[in-house]
Structure 1
Amino acid sequence: MVDYEPRVVKFHICDRPWLSLYNRNLILKTKATDEGEATSVFNGPSGDCLSDDVMYQIFARLSPSDLAACSRVCRRWNSLSFDPAHWKRICMETWPSGGNVETMKSVVSYGIYSVVSYIVRLFRVTITGGSWRRMFLERPHLRFDGVYISRHQYIRMGLTEGKYKQPVFLVTYFRFLRFYPDGICIVLTSAEKPTSAVKRLRRNWSPSANERDKATPCLGSYEFNEKTKQVTVISSVKQPKYPEMRDATVVYSLKLSSTCRGANDRLYVESHFSIHEGSDCPVFHSKDKQVKYYSFIAFRCFHERCARLFHEEDYIKAN
């Protein structure tokens, strides 16, 4: 009789430290301080604990950029963000077709589409395009969830007495354009930083005691042609802090473009002129060769984008 020893099989278990992070408290990083990197622990439940109905109501209140960002989180959020109802709401808010915006919002909220005549055109475009999301990406439109900003720079020679070398200053100022769905446009020209000047780009903005010496945003109107992608902005120029300033009307001729599919984040300047009242030469044409386009910056990442696009240049000293 032959005795057989039992065969021992050894398994090598690989160390996977990331498995210990599952089902743990979420650690959110806050802004860094001088002492070091600060962190805060969030003990609440994650998004996986919420039902699809709750997530649907949350996604129904997001902007297009936020909805696209949520689609990159996980597979579940991606399927929820591609719901046609969300993009249907976004398309109806983007193209009100000249109707009342408040009426459009009430119609969208109650789902009564057959009684509105200008909704039929949206359905035709959607059927030919394939989906509401594809319509929003491929159909040219101005963006309302941010501001179009253009930076202007020129060199100014300084004056000094008793010195051979004169300083050279680099003067920088910005032009802002904010569009609304009902054809209203806010125009602002200011030398402040974009992060400070964007707070005044509102319809109901009124200067406080500390803001009376700052530039006042001008309220104008715009027209957009989808076939040619031409944008015409007409705005009046009047600053209350300059009572002797002549009344004028500024006209911008712009062309919409995109850096990627559906971005609509560039406005190229084709012409820019002003009409002054009570002058021998009422029209002054102005086209700066350095100004090539307006860049769009969304509100959700305004500070980060401004820090990358616009650097601080105080002045340049002559050698």
Structure 2
Amino acid sequence: MASDIALPIPNEASASSGFRMMQFIGTKRPWLNLYGNRIRPIAPFGSTSSKEFAESSLMHRCLPDELLFEIFSRMPPYALGKAACVCRKWRYTIRNPTLWRAACLKAWQASGALENYRILQSVYDGSWRKMWLQRPRVRTDGLYVSRNTYIRAGIREWNVTNPVHVVCYYRYIRFFPSGKFLYKNSSQKVKEVAKCMSFRASKVDCVFRGDFAMTHDMIDGALLYPGLRPTLLRMKLRMRGTTRGANNRLDLLTLVTTGVEYNELSHGEDDILGVVESWEENETHNPDVPAVSHRRGMAPFVFVPFEEVETSVLNLPVDKMDYYVPG
């Protein structure tokens, strides 16, 4: 509610400077009246004083530092970042290097412990938290989603003009610390696909597994589409983030499909990337399936945590997502 508030000016000032009384429009802020008021706990029934028990808002002060550290050690890194904003004590406790060392060694376990320690000392000045925030990494607590659309002309039936359809489909990638990833190309929304993106997915779900390797901020991935005419899909992506340490964007640089003979990869299905890393980009091993370098459907991947798959904006229908452009 807006109201007119009149501010009188002292007579001395008005006489000397000639200022007149001014009126301005201000907004009432009732919550300002709460400043300076200390909220005290209500004593339980039967108690004569509220000092017999601790305030519920200061419950964490009753916990010893050892117990508080044990609680934080069981929390994921991104939950630790949120907890560090609660109070000063939690922030200092979460700065413990042991918490971030465990997170770093798990995130880059494919590099090995010795290599991680070498990078820690040579690049990040021995700070595990600095390494976690600045070193590019793939996130394993959600899905990377690429939303792509194209226009398809329909068939004219009893109309003067041809109908036009907007086709929307998604690419989904889920990474694992072991160097494996799951890939799915579907028109289903995020909340539906998140339920089947696991190694236990059936063939009906059309979830394919592959191998990836990360060098600094570049990711090389390869997977095999099985069938009568096996097709190898190779992609190159670049990791980036909208904020420091977010790693929530993937730029799809190249996407190539190549025909292969199944007996070429039958001995290396556990490490497809290691078998094809020496192949040329447009090299094909099956004349029936030529190599194709795709130029369409190269929208960036947006990271969606598992806790936000139900409420993500990517679940909106096509008519409300025409102008969605990931940053």
Partner in structure 2 of residue 164 of structure 1: 160
SS in 2 for 1:255: strand
Tell me if structure 2 keeps the 8 A contact 1:146–1:296: yes
Q: How does 1:283-294 map to 2 (within 5 A)?
A: 283-288=291-296, 291-294=298-301
1:83-98 alignment to 2 at 5 Å?
A: 83-98=96-111
Aligned with 1:222 (options 212, 216, 231): 212
The structure 2 residue matched to 1:275, chosen from 247, 258, 269, is 258
Q: Which residue matches 1:234? A: 222
Q: How far off is 1:176 after superposition?
A: 0.8
2:75 aligned with 1:62: yes
> Is this contact kept in 2: 1:266–1:294, CA < 8 A?
yes
Q: Which residue in the other structure is 1:251 paired with?
A: 234
Q: CA deviation at 1:251?
A: 0.5
Is the contact between residue 149 and residue 296 of structure 1 (CA under 8 Å) also seen in structure 2?
yes
Change (3 A) 1:139 1:123: closer
- Give aligned pairs, total: 252
Question: For 1:252 and 1:45, how far apart are their aligned partners in 2?
Answer: 53
Q: Give 1:54-133 correspondences, 5 Å limit.
A: 54-99=67-112, 117-118=114-115, 120-121=117-118, 124-125=121-122, 128-133=124-129
Instruction: State the shift of 1:179 in Å.
Output: 1.0
Gapped runs of 5+ residues in structure 2?
1-31, 44-54, 261-285, 322-327
Deviation at 1:219, TM superposition (A): 0.6
Aligned to 1:37: none
Q: Provide the rounded CA distance (Å) in 2 between the counterparts of 1:51 and 1:191.
A: 51
Q: 1:136 aligns with which of 126, 132, 135?
A: 132
Q: How does 1:32-71 map to 2 (within 5 A)?
A: 47-48=59-60, 49-71=62-84
User: Distance in 2 between the 1:157 and 1:256 partners?
Assistant: 35
Relative distance call for 1:249 and 1:75 in structure 2 (3 A) is same
- What TM-score, normalized by structure 2, do the two folds share? 0.68
Q: Which runs of 5+ in 1 are unaligned?
A: 1-13, 26-43, 100-115
Confirm or deny: 8 A CA contact 1:174 1:192 kept in the other structure. yes
Report the AA paired with residue 257 of structure 2: S
Q: Deviations over 1:78-126 (max 9, x none)?
A: 2222221111111111121445xxxxxxxxxxxxxxxx75564255247
TM-score by length of 1: 0.69
- 1:92 and 1:136 mapped to 2: Cα distance? 10
Contact 1:170 1:315 in 2 (8 A): no
Which digits, 9 at most, give the CA deviation of each residue in 1:17-37, with x for residues without a partner?
Answer: 884755479xxxxxxxxxxxx
CA contact (8 A) 2:191 2:309 kept: yes
Which structure has the highest helix share of the two?
A: 2
- Bigger Rg, structure 1 or 2: 2
Contact 2:231 2:289 in 1 (8 A): no
Deviation, 1:136, is 0.9
Closer, same or farther in 2 for the Cα pair 1:117/1:160, shift >3 Å? closer
